[in-house]
Amino acid sequence: MRKPCCEKKETNKGAWSKQEDQKLIDHIQKHGEGCWRSLPQAAGLLRCGKSCRLRWVNYLRPDLKRGNFGEDEEELIIKLHALLGNRWSLIAGRLPGRTDNEVKNYWNTHLKKKLIKRGIDPNNDRLAHYSAGAPKSCLSNSNSIRTSPVNFNGDDDNNVGGSDSSMDPKCNQTSSLPDLNLDLTVAPPPMEYVGS
């Protein structure tokens, strides 16, 4: 079993003071983030390591973006949510200066309601609501949702001999799907690259 990160009885709880914020900022600027378990004591704070980490990540980092979300950010969140669902850290990773918690809260308090007002069910429609005006038959087959251009010449290797709705020019989803680079995986390089 893992040892608790701090002695709970000796830690401050609740709102952070300006002095505590400044101690945390000064320590991280001088020594870096390091180990969050030992940081509070090293910085002279009577706080839990988790509390220090969350305060830094969500409020004090110098690269945080403050203020309202722009229309471009809203549209990107909607598109990414349609593709990724509630994977807030992945979505926030595509919005520089925004935290996963901030994006999640904005989705739940503003964007979800906005989509519902437009007649879109944000929990069930996923990619379907990007097919504005596309026939329902285009959406019934999951193969018709594409992230690459559709080949209408009939020589698409993936659709040989089938009556796939993706062959229907009316079902071309590329104009309504977001044009995004979703290279979101974090993994070691393939073995073929390790030795070279």
29 Cβ contact partners less than 8 Å away, ≥ 6 residues apart: none
Look at the pTM and tell me if it is higher than 0.75: no
d(CA 35, CA 37): 5
132 Cβ contact partners less than 8 Å away, ≥ 6 residues apart: 176
Does position 169 have pLDDT exceeding 70, yes or no?
no
In CATH, the architecture of 8-60 is Orthogonal Bundle (1.10)
Does position 128 have pLDDT exceeding 60, yes or no?
no
Which has the minimum average pLDDT: 63-77, 109-123, 147-161?
147-161
Does position 81 have pLDDT exceeding 50, yes or no?
yes
Does position 13 have pLDDT exceeding 90, yes or no?
no
Q: Supply the pLDDT for residue 118.
A: 86
Percentage of the chain exceeding pLDDT 70: 58
Q: Which of 53-57, 118-122, 128-132, 186-190 ranks highest by mean pLDDT? A: 53-57
The candidate with the shortest Cα–Cα distance to 82, out of 145, 140, 133, 138, is 145
Greater confidence (132 vs 108) lies with 108
Q: If you ran DSSP here, which 8-state letter would residue 107 be given?
A: I
Mean pLDDT within 88-103 = 93
Residue type at 186?
V
What is the domain partition of the chain in residue ranges? 8-60, 71-117, 125-147+165-177
Q: Supply the pLDDT for residue 39.
A: 93
Contact 20, 47 (CB under 8 A): yes
Q: In the predicted model, what is the mean pLDDT of the chain?
A: 73
- Answer whether 8-60 and 71-117 agree in fold: yes
Class of the domain covering 71-117 = mainly alpha
